[in-house]
Structure formats: C-alpha cells, structure tokens
C-alpha cells in the first residue's frame, strides 16, 4: 500500500461487543496492532459496560438482550450524537462496521450524516442464527424481515468485505453487485502463534499429564459452536490416554461444565497471552465442531502453532483446511461423521502429528500482513 495514502487514512473501526470472550475483540486487537505498525490512524469504537482495550468505549444508555443468539448476553445502545461528535472531532474519513448490530447501524447512519464512506464486513452468519431460533411460531415473523433488513443495510455500503468464498457466492446470489464485494479471508499472526511456543509442562498447571494426547477447543462455550459433539465424544468414547481441554468462557460454560467435567474432560477457563500460545502449540489436536463460523480464527491460530485441526464442512474454516493434509473436515451437524474423523486420528496418532506439521506449512496465504495491506488498499481507494 502507498505510504502517502496510508497517512491520509483515519479509520473508525466500529463493532458490537457481547462479552469479553469474542473473536471480534481478537480481530480488532490484531487489526489495530497492524495499523499502528503501518502508521495508520485506526480507532476501534464500541459501547459496553466496562473498558476493553484498544476500544474507545461509549457508555451504554440501553441494553438489548441477544436472546437465543448468545444466551445471557446483550448488545448495547450508546448516545448517537456523542458518537457522531467523536467521529467529527477525530476527523475520521472512513467508517468500518465489523458487526451488523446496533453499532453497525449507527456507523451506517453516521456515515450518511457526515457524508463519509462506509464499509461493511460480513462477519456473522445471520441466516444460520435465525434458523436456530428456538420458537417455530416466532421464526417466520422474525427471519424474513431480518434478512430483508440485512440486505437493505448492506446495500448502503460503499464496499462489503466478505470473509469466506461461500459467503461471497451467497452475496452475489442475493443480488449484491460484484463491484462492491471484496474477498477478505481470515489472517493470522504467524510470529505470535508459533510451534516454538511448545511447552508440554503447561498442562501440569491444569492437572493434566503431559504424556497424554491433549485435544483442545478455544472460544466461547456455547451451543452455537456445537461444542457438545466434542464433549459427547470424550464422555462416551473415552479415547485411551487422551484428555479434552476446553479453553474459554461465557454464560453457557457452567451448565456444560456441570454436565461433562471429568478426568478426561477439563475446563481451563479463559486463557490469554503466553499461556494461550503454549496451550495451542503444545496440544496434539484442535477441534472446532461449529457449523456457523464465519472465520474460525482460532483454527488458523492452532494451525500456525503447528497443531492439526478438525472442522465442519460449513463456514469459513473449511476454506483453509485441506482434508487429510493439514486437518480433517467432517459433515456439519452429523455426529457419526465427526466420530469417524476423531476415531481415525486416535487410531493413528502419528498421523495426527503429521497434520500438525503440515498445518504450519500451509498458512502462507493467510498471514495477517498480506491481508491487512490488501484491506487497507481497498478502503484507501474510497478517499
């Protein structure tokens, strides 16, 4: 990207925050750090009940419960005029929405009001979540209007960044102009997530024998992630000399822990920094059963750390997992397919290790630097 043009960028990166265990926060932290290294003014903005770096936080004036999407959490509504004043005071010249929630709508409205370019990132599989609504009575009255609104919302954008090839094709099918669409896959900091962080003694801190085969999950512990596939497998199949380590938190953690915690299923809570780097690199396998992942950045973090992965054939992770080479792909929502994949790896643990080696070698096209320069080049062209 042209350095002179980068100096002209003043980006407001706008996102909704549900809780502190979120891929949105991780994505924001990484983009912010890259912007800092490139000398770009880049200010993350949200509204939440407590400070979260590197966001500028606006005090919420109203909570909006997220219902069945993320149980026990809320989105928040800030004072619109205060946000607009902040954009104006800081001479923002690009507004980027990283979520299609309250803050995303606010960014869209503020861009119109201030006559600024507005960029949307299709980061959430809204259609999947709406299909997962608990009530069959409510669903018909919510789903179609919500999807119609989302399409109209996105049509206001000057550019729409789509995180997976599957979503790109879906957007074209829904009638969005290819001129506005940009493919923006997940990226990973291969310097931060690295096999050099391997330290099997990290498992001792959590009462896990380092000699065991350790399978990890990292992220929000929720039904949406289909985590029960993994927990059920360890509870029922009890693979020999193996432990499942669940890393993360969220409102649904307690009931899952109460139901499944055992000698071979450990809940390690939220882990960050060097501790998380060691856990990724030291694990023998990473599993993300979710069928709704737009990105699944945790999958790339595991792969960059030299750990093989198991993912479903729905959502973003399958875009960078080649079945049988750097991981395994099972049929989404099909427990027998998941079990077959896991059984095959426990029957050949050397193969499991080989997947991890290949995973690290396969992430070249997904480094954060390459993707950041492409992203900023596209938005700078709007100035």
Rounded average pLDDT over 59-80: 80
Q: Can you give the pLDDT at residue 376?
A: 94
The verdict on 297 and 220 lying in the same domain is yes
Same domain, 360 and 371: no
Q: Which of 66-70, 228-232, 278-282, 301-305 has the lowest average pLDDT?
A: 66-70
DSSP 3-state assignment of 252?
Answer: coil
Compute the average pLDDT of residues 237-263.
95
Return the pLDDT at 127: 53
The CA distance from 93 to 117, in Å, is: 7
Q: pLDDT tens digits, residue range 82-114?
A: 999 999 999 999 999 988 889 999 999 999 999
**Omega into 54 within 30° of 0, i.e. cis?**
yes
Does 237 share its domain with 325?
A: yes
Where does residue 1 rank: exposed (0-12), middle (13-18), buried (19+ CB within 10 A)?
A: middle
More confident residue, 231 or 7: 231
Between 227 and 175, the more confident residue is 227
Domain of 329? 195-364
How many CB atoms within 10 Å of residue 40?
22
Model pLDDT, residue 152: 75
Tokens in use for 12?
A: 């407001």
Indicate if the pLDDT at residue 205 is higher than 50: yes
Answer yes or no: do 351 and 293 share one domain: yes
Q: Taking Cα atoms as reference points, which of 82, 217, 102, 79 lies closest to residue 153?
A: 102
233 and 172, same structural domain? Answer: no
Considering the domain architecture, whether residues 60 and 163 belong to the same structural domain is answered as yes
Other Cβ atoms within 10 Å of 138 Cβ, number: 12
- Quickly list H helices, 156-269: 165-173, 228-237, 253-260
**More confident position, 69 or 71:** 71
Q: CA 340, CA 33: separation in Å to the nearest integer?
A: 40
- pLDDT score for 167: 81
156 with 253, same domain: the answer is: no
Mean pLDDT of the chain: 88
Report how many domains make up the chain. Answer: 2
Q: What spatial distance separates the first Cα and last Cα of the chain, rounded to whole Å?
A: 14
Same domain for 372 and 358, yes or no, is no
Does residue 41 share a domain with residue 27? yes
Same domain, 127 and 201: no
pLDDT in tens, 139-188: 443 445 555 556 678 889 999 999 888 888 888 888 888 999 998 888 88
Name the one residue in this structure whose structure tokens are 């750990």: 307
Task: Band the pLDDT of 6: cuts 50, 70, 90.
Answer: low
What proportion of the chain, given as a percentage, has pLDDT over 90?
66
CA atoms of 365 and 369, how far apart (whole Å): 10
User: In this structure, are 34 and 166 located in the same domain?
Assistant: yes
pLDDT exceeds cutoff 50 at 248 = yes
Is the separation of the CB atoms in 104 and 153 below 8 Å? yes
Q: Per residue in 316-369, pLDDT tens? A: 889 889 999 999 999 999 999 999 999 999 999 999 999 999 999 998 778 888
Could you give the maximum distance between any two Cα atoms of the chain, in Å? Answer: 62
**d(Cα 8, Cα 88) in Å, to the nearest integer?**
15
Interstrand relation of 265-269 and 285-288 (parallel, antiparallel or unpaired): unpaired
CATH number (domain holding residue 246): 3.40.50.2000
* 285 shares a domain with 164: no
Quote the pTM value. Answer: 0.76
Nearest Cα residue to 9 out of 131, 136, 119: 119
């Amino acid at each position: 990207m042209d350095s002179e043009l980068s100096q002209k960028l003043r980006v407001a990166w706008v996102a909704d925050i549900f809780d502190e265990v979120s891929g949105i926060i991780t994505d924001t932290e990484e983009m912010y750090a890259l912007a800092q290294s490139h000398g770009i003014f880049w200010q993350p903005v949200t509204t939440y009940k407590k400070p979260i770096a590197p966001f500028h936080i606006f005090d919420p004036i109203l909570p909006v419960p997220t219902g069945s999407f993320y149980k026990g959490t809320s989105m928040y509504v800030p004072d619109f005029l205060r946000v607009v004043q902040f954009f104006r005071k800081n001479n923002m010249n690009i507004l980027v929405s990283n979520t299609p929630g309250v803050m995303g709508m606010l960014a869209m409205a503020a861009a119109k009001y201030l006559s600024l370019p507005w960029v949307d990132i299709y980061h959430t599989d809204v259609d999947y979540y709406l299909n997962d609504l608990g009530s069959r009575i409510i669903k018909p009255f919510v789903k179609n209007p919500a999807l119609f609104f989302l399409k109209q919302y996105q049509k206001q954008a000057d550019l729409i960044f789509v995180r997976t090839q599957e979503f790109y094709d879906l957007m074209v099918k829904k009638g969005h102009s290819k001129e506005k669409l940009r493919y923006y896959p997940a990226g990973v900091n291969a310097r931060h997530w690295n096999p050099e962080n391997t330290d099997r003694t990290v498992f001792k801190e959590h009462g896990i024998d380092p000699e065991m085969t350790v399978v990890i999950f990292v992220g929000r512990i929720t039904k949406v992630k289909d985590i029960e596939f993994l927990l059920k497998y360890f509870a029922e199949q009890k693979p020999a000399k193996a432990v499942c380590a669940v890393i993360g938190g969220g409102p649904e953690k307690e009931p899952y822990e109460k139901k499944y915690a055992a000698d071979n299923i450990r809940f390690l809570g939220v882990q960050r920094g060097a501790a998380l780097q060691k856990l990724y690199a030291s694990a023998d396998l990473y599993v993300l059963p979710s069928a709704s992942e737009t990105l699944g950045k945790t999958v790339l973090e595991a792969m960059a750390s030299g750990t093989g992965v198991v993912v479903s054939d729905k959502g973003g992770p399958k875009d960078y997992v080649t079945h049988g080479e750097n991981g395994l792909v099972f049929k989404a929502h099909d427990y027998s397919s998941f079990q077959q994949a896991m059984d095959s790896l426990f029957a050949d643990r050397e193969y499991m290790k080989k997947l991890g080696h290949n995973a690290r070698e396969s992430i070249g096209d997904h480094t954060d630097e390459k993707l950041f320069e492409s992203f900023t080049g596209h938005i700078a062209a709007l100035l």
